[in-house]
Structure formats: structure tokens, C-alpha cells
Amino acid sequence: MLRRLNIPSIFETLGGFLLAIALLAMLFASFSRPASGKSSPQTLALLPGSAEFVVSLDTFALRKSDLVAEMEKRFDSVPEAAENYRRFVRETGVDPRQDTDQVLMVLRHAEGAGDSGFLIIAQGRFGSNRLVDLAQEKGGSTVALADGTRVWSSRSSSNREAAEASQKIVALAQPDQGTVLFGQESEVLRALDVLAGRKPPEPKGPKLRELLSGVDRRAPAWAVLNSSVLAGRLSSEIAQKDPSWNPGDAVSRVESVTFMGWAGKDVTVKARVTAKDLETAGLLADVARGALAAGKLAAKDQDQELLRILQETKLTQDGTIVEIEARIPASRFQLKPIEAAER
């Protein structure tokens, strides 16, 4: 099995996990000053206490990277996509690529429990724009809170019962010129209450606090998975690219995963996996070591660049924690033209 592992596929999945959503995240924005390189305490205070998945993107820094610049060029090479983007800028008054500084995305209860939900907090320089007005024109309804904040939601007389039954009502709000909130309605309203001082921030669980304190928030992209369910889903994503990836049931005993990514001429990825016990951590480390060894053997006479990447990859185990760090040239991601991808 290890000899058949597609090492580039695995590394590209881990690196792309943090980078592929960068352009999508640029559709939101806030903060009227340049990004500081880490999420502000105020923004982290908006996280739900039971958050299981948190992604932070310093779009101010990411858009300077070679990889994101290339992604934008590929996007602009499609006339229809480029025209839609220009139309969005004209209609809303927001240029996501230039106005966005940071984006924080959070998911509560990945398994779909009663209080599950998602929230996107965008920071940049929105000024006066028509985001809420444009959403209203597309449907749904808008209400004004006591402090004057207008909140659009997907509620309407025709879809109210169906949306409420499926818990899929989404909302959009701009509480100030530097903040945009989008997500499940209950999460948006909760964040607005915290920002306005109507409610205190939700207390964070010990595990979430530990994960947030352990991540390097200077990284332009970082993520924490506080859930074995989400770890399993990420493993499934890798398996879809490489069917030979089969860590067995070890993934189900993963307690948390932390990612950090830096994008420039190269993409540097650090991953930290915390297992429930030493046996699971050892198994995961053995799988990773075997994959690296098999990859080096396969690349020795065929791909010197990949061989160098694997030789420089660092893998360590400290108790129940397994860490891996790799530096991947942006060219290894082999971005395909969007037209080809759409076909």
C-alpha cells in the first residue's frame, strides 16, 4: 500500500486545504487598517464556545503570494467569471481582492447537532456599500435592529417553514464599515449581540482554548479541527485523491488537528495531530514515515524536485502529538485553466 501512495497528492491536499479557499474568502471584508498578521482578540471573541472548525486567512498577506496571484490570473482568464466579478464590484461598491484584510470562518458541531451552524467574519475596508441591499434584491427579507444595523436573511413568506425546518436560514449584516458577518442566522445574530455588548462572548471550552493558544497566529493561513468527525472527513478527501491512502481506524481516534500555512514563492505547511493515545499516535507516525520512505524511493529516478521536498520534510512524534512540516514549491500545485476544470 505504501509504495502506491501518491505523495504529491497528499501534500497538495494539505497545502491546498488552506489555500484553495483564499479567493473565495476574498468575497468578504472589514477593518480600516492593514492586517496585523493575526486575528484580533475581538474577532476571536465572536467564536462560538463549541467551535469545532476554525479557519483564519490573512488575505492582506495572501494576495501578495505568487500562488494566489496565479489563481487570480486564472480566474481573470475566463471572460464570464471576470465580468461577473466586475459586476459585483460595481453593484456592491466592494472590491474583495483589494478591500479584504482578514477572514475568519467557523463551524459549530460538524455532525449536525441541534445548535450546529457556521459563521464568516470578514474584516477590511468596506465603507458604505450595497451588500445588504443587493441581497435583499435577490430575495429574502431585511430587518433593522435597535442600533440601526440592518440584517438580511433568507427568510421569506414562501420559504419560512421549509428553511426553519432544515435550519438553513442564512443571514448577512454589516455592523460597521469594517465588518461583515455572513452565516447561519442564529450565529450572525449572536455575533451582533456580542459586538454591541448586548451579550457576553460564549466561554470557550478548554480544548478549544488550548488549540487557539497553540497555533501560530502570525501565519497568513491557519486552521484548527477540534473534532474527530472533521479529521475523518479530511482523511476521506485525501483518499478521494489517492485510493491507496488507508490509515485504518486511527483517524477516528484523532482528537484534534492544527494546520498553519505560509504562501510565497513556496508553500510551507505545518500540521499537528493530537491522538487519543500513544498507540494511535505511533500508528499515524508510522504511516507517515512509510509514506515518506516510499515516496523517496519512487521519486529517486523520476522526480528530483519531489525527492528534495520529501528529504527536507520534517516528521516528529512527542507523546500523543505527531507533527509534520513540508515546504512545497507553488509550481507543484499545477493549477489548471478554469475552463478545463469546468469541463
- Kindly give, in sequence order, each residue whose CB lies less than 8 Å from that of residue 152, ignoring residues fewer than 6 positions away: 132, 135, 136, 140, 141, 142, 171, 172, 173
Give mean pLDDT, residues 72-78. Answer: 82
Quick one: what percent of the chain has pLDDT higher than 70?
A: 71
Q: Please give the Cα distance from 179 to 314 (Å, whole number).
A: 39
What pLDDT is stored for residue 76 in this prediction?
84
Helix (H) or strand (E) holding 39: none
Q: Which residues of 309-324 are buried (b: 16+ CB within 10 A; e: fewer)?
A: bbeebeeebeebbbbb
> What is the residue-averaged pLDDT of the chain?
77
Quick one: what percent of the chain has pLDDT higher than 90?
A: 30
What pLDDT is stored for residue 84 in this prediction?
86
What pLDDT is stored for residue 13 in this prediction?
40
- Kindly give, in sequence order, each residue whose CB lies less than 8 Å from that of residue 160, ignoring residues fewer than 6 positions away: none
What pLDDT is stored for residue 11 in this prediction?
42
Give mean pLDDT, residues 196-216. Answer: 89
- Helices 304-312 and 278-299 meet at what angle, rounded to 10? 150
Asked whether the predicted pLDDT for residue 195 surpasses 50, the reply is yes
Give mean pLDDT, residues 80-86. Answer: 86
Q: Please give the Cα distance from 222 to 226 (Å, whole number).
A: 13
In DSSP terms, 168 is beta-bridged to none
Sheet order of strands, 170-176 included: 141-144, 150-153, 170-176, 179-184, 117-124, 100-108, 51-57, 221-225, 254-263, 266-275, 321-329, 314-318
Asked whether the predicted pLDDT for residue 129 surpasses 90, the reply is no
Give tens-digit pLDDT for 297-324.
999 888 999 999 999 999 999 999 999 9
CA distances from 71 to 75, 224, 234 (A): 6, 24, 23
Asked whether the predicted pLDDT for residue 198 surpasses 50, the reply is yes
Q: Please give the Cα distance from 96 to 180 (Å, whole number).
A: 12
Asked whether the predicted pLDDT for residue 109 surpasses 80, the reply is no
What pLDDT is stored for residue 68 in this prediction?
79
Give tens-digit pLDDT for 150-173.
999 998 655 555 445 445 799 999
What pLDDT is stored for residue 8 in this prediction?
44
What pLDDT is stored for residue 18 in this prediction?
40
What pLDDT is stored for residue 265 in this prediction?
79
Cell of 106: 467557523
What pLDDT is stored for residue 67 in this prediction?
77
Contact indicator for 294, 5 with CB cutoff of 8 Å: yes
Q: Break the chain into its structural domains and give their ranges.
A: 2-15+222-342
Burial group, residue 18, by CB count within 10 angstroms (0-12, 13-18, 19+): buried
Give tens-digit pLDDT for 1-51.
333 334 444 444 444 444 444 444 443 333 333 334 455 557 888 999 888
- Kindly give, in sequence order, each residue whose CB lies less than 8 Å from that of residue 91, ignoring residues fewer than 6 positions away: 130, 134
What pLDDT is stored for residue 234 in this prediction?
61
Give tens-digit pLDDT for 219-264.
999 999 886 655 656 656 555 655 555 555 666 678 888 999 998 7
Other Cβ atoms within 10 Å of 34 Cβ, number:
11
Give mean pLDDT, residues 214-223. Answer: 89
Terminal Cα distance for the chain, rounded: 32
Contact indicator for 71, 335 with CB cutoff of 8 Å: yes
